[in-house]
Structure 1
């Protein structure tokens, strides 16, 4: 119940951070065992750039 009260009381949330973490986990799952960390990093940055452009 306290979480609901806080959601109503405060104007901010961590939804953007949770969304980024979720995207990273999905990409990691898709790329499991195929690529290095550098490739994963490049893919994540490219995705963020595309989403920010639109």
Structure 2
């Protein structure tokens, strides 16, 4: 591959701070099978993604 942007595209998008909390929680459950507190702050959820 030649390093073009379309070769580097991430197909499985990970949550960002701009995502809604419910969407981040759903992503964590589906993609990582993680268990977390429903009362967890969005910052805490993002840290779980970055582990």
Normalising by structure 1, report the TM-score: 0.33
Normalising by structure 2, report the TM-score: 0.34
Higher helix share: 1
Structure exhibiting the larger radius of gyration computed from Cα positions: 1
